[in-house]
Structure 1
């Protein structure tokens, strides 16, 4: 069953950063996110990873990793390194997508990198302000979803509720990259875990 990633828009407990990589396995993704090879606490579920993230040194985090389809993924608890390390994650022809919920400093952030460089990035709900080496990379998709107009200005109504707004943009990202991540993997599944250093 294809669950996609749109459910994140309606999930009140989205506090973990999510990094996806196509072209490397889960263990390599963890290493590129700064995993400390000597600190593998074993398979952890979400609550255990949060407990560990609160106990590790300040600036460190915990990454739980796995794979769905063609993509490896990391659920980053504590301090997510994915946004800063995405060029490293995506080196040597790898594609990488990072979604950061930014609970303390909205909006939620999207970044796409390929072969060592950030291709495009924007905040969910702030797609008019796009960055990266090719900021308009997703513009045709965002226009087709009626998020933006062809000139890059906002197309959606100002009154659109934030969950519906975020779901619409997440649907663009989901379709464009073929991303799927079942909620149970993020919340409950015991996944291989790594401590990531700052």
Structure 2
């Protein structure tokens, strides 16, 4: 997962389209683990890599889970047009920090990095400052921390995320992000979104004989790296 986009005011399919997906091009529902079986080339020299999203809806928000070279950070103005609210979360461990950006009606309203909440930007950079103060993260001046030297940055990040969740009424269970079967769309590059390989049995037999892990039998898809190895080994 490379990011999460949430939108209030449109459904999941419209969110996928605003992120660059094609109408009617969604796959059958797949899990987080099954995304790896799609043909994605995340980095492509001289061009845009492949990006895929799995989309769904929960508690009044549409959401898109991003994989690869996705488009959430580039298309927030488009996603949030016509009165829609949109939030983009880009995870990271420490530095650069995980980023949260809130957009509304085609405008970037505010954003900040988790554990770097004193650096805020957007048309209304202090929109969430009262919430950050109430949560005991920042002092009212917006520049100094209540705890300037926290020992547990994981807890600090969770506190900042809790501010976002409470302010906007978000509640995405982790199991929904990973285990739920959701429709997937290509949003950038040229990923192979095929959900059944006609030569699945042949390649699967070759993979088994050559010590590769068995592909999923449910989707009947050959993972991209196994297919590359098969093509290399069987090409003449």
Smaller-chain TM-score range? Answer: 0.7 to 0.9
TM-score, normalised to structure 2, is 0.73
SS of match in other structure, 2:110: strand
Q: Partner residue of 1:190?
A: 181
Work out which structure has the larger RCO, using CA pairs closer than 8 Å and 6 or more positions apart in sequence.
Answer: 1
Q: Partner residue of 1:5?
A: none
Q: Partner residue of 1:8?
A: none
Q: Partner residue of 2:113?
A: 123
Aligned length: 184
Structure 1 21/91 Cα, relative in aligned 2: closer, same or farther at 3 Å? same
2:29 to 18, 30, 43: 43
The runs of 4+ residues in structure 1 deviating greater than 6 Å are none
Show CA shifts across 1:76-96 (max 9, x none). Answer: 111231122111100000000
Larger radius of gyration: 2
Indicate if the aligned counterparts of 2:40 and 2:50 stay in contact, CA closer than 8 A: no
In structure 2, what is the Cα distance between the partners aligned to 1:166 and 1:64? 25
SS of match in other structure, 1:27: helix
1:78 to 55, 59, 68: 68
SS of match in other structure, 2:74: helix
Q: Partner residue of 2:225?
A: none
Structure 1 148/103 Cα, relative in aligned 2: closer, same or farther at 3 Å? closer
SS of match in other structure, 1:142: helix
Deviation of the 1:36 alpha carbon = 3.0
Indicate if the aligned counterparts of 2:57 and 2:63 stay in contact, CA closer than 8 A: yes
Q: Partner residue of 1:30?
A: 16
42-51 or 31-40, which deviates more:
31-40
Alignment gaps of 5+ in structure 2 = 190-236
Confirm or deny that 1:159 pairs with 2:145: no
TM-score, normalised to structure 1, is 0.86
Please report the RMSD computed on the Cα atoms of aligned residues, expressed in angstroms: 1.9
Deviation of the 1:103 alpha carbon = 5.6
Structure 1 56/84 Cα, relative in aligned 2: closer, same or farther at 3 Å? closer
Structure 1 52/118 Cα, relative in aligned 2: closer, same or farther at 3 Å? same
